[in-house]
Structure 1
């Protein structure tokens, strides 16, 4: 055997070990996420609230309680996440919103939201109808490209 085949075998072995390690780490992370989802489902309640403002902001600028900031891992403290400021009953609260529904949350409107602690998991209109996400404006260039693709019979861009 020459040195090239030995190097390739070593690289293959390292890649195989990395794939196996990632597989087991992924399974462990999935179990943790399922346990967290069970806790969220156990604590959820429907609340009527008036949404004052919503933004994506860093944890230290969000106005969340200090206990929440201390419990967050250090690596995530600098990243931006969706924050909703809402009036729930007589008090104004800062809540964390699920990334999937952040665009559907209407500003300056009263909604019924499913809340688990300080985490908003779902939003419905005041009378039970689902709130639609606002359509994003597209640039003229993007519209022109989509028209040309439609003319040519190609699949539209997403």
Structure 2
């Protein structure tokens, strides 16, 4: 029969705990460094922000490779870190004057952008930062998403399965 000593188990647990602690410390310092980089870039983004009138043609979440094929510059793929290559970006295809362009939108703005309407936005290069106004109406808030439990309660209350 196999006998496992308590000392062996404790040594393994402490070594696993030590490795997890090292990973946690490394992630903390990496996060602080990335936050500093973002704070340095924020004034540049604000300085390059312009109000632009666009007609939203289409919007969807796409992977970076698909977005480059849809019209984003190749630089976007080249400058994206490896750990974000598979993430999905909120991509907006819009007509700016006579040209059809592809933009990356901020996630909150992406939800509010109406399709097939003319919108005045604050854009910094290919990045849509905020909505200023919508022609023919105000910016409508998207309906709040219901959580799993609230949806379940509603189904029970209405008698549906």
Which of 84, 99, 112 is 1:91 aligned to? 99
Counterpart check, 1:53 vs 2:77: no
Match of 2:128 in 1: 120
Match of 1:110 in 2: 118
Which of 32, 35, 42 is 1:30 aligned to? 35
> Residue 68 and residue 14 in structure 1: after superposition, are their counterparts in 2 closer, same or farther (change >3 A)?
closer
Mapped partners of 1:4, 1:77: distance in 2: 39
Q: Give the drift of 1:83.
A: 0.8
> Residue 143 and residue 78 in structure 1: after superposition, are their counterparts in 2 closer, same or farther (change >3 A)?
closer
Structure 2: stretches of 5+ with no match in the other structure: 1-5
> Residue 24 and residue 147 in structure 1: after superposition, are their counterparts in 2 closer, same or farther (change >3 A)?
same
Any idea what SS the aligned residue of 2:104 has?
strand
Q: Which moved more, 1:84-93 or 1:102-111?
A: 84-93
Q: Give the drift of 1:72.
A: 2.5
CA contact under 8 A between 1:124 and 1:130: conserved in structure 2?
no
Q: Give the drift of 1:97.
A: 0.7
CA RMSD of aligned residues (A): 3.0
Counterpart check, 1:80 vs 2:85: no
Q: Give the drift of 1:4.
A: 4.5
Which of 64, 72, 75 is 1:64 aligned to? 72
CA contact under 8 A between 1:123 and 1:130: conserved in structure 2?
no
Tell me the number of residue pairs that the alignment of Structure 1 and Structure 2 aligns.
Answer: 146
Query: Normalising by structure 1, what TM-score?
Result: 0.74
Match of 1:155 in 2: none
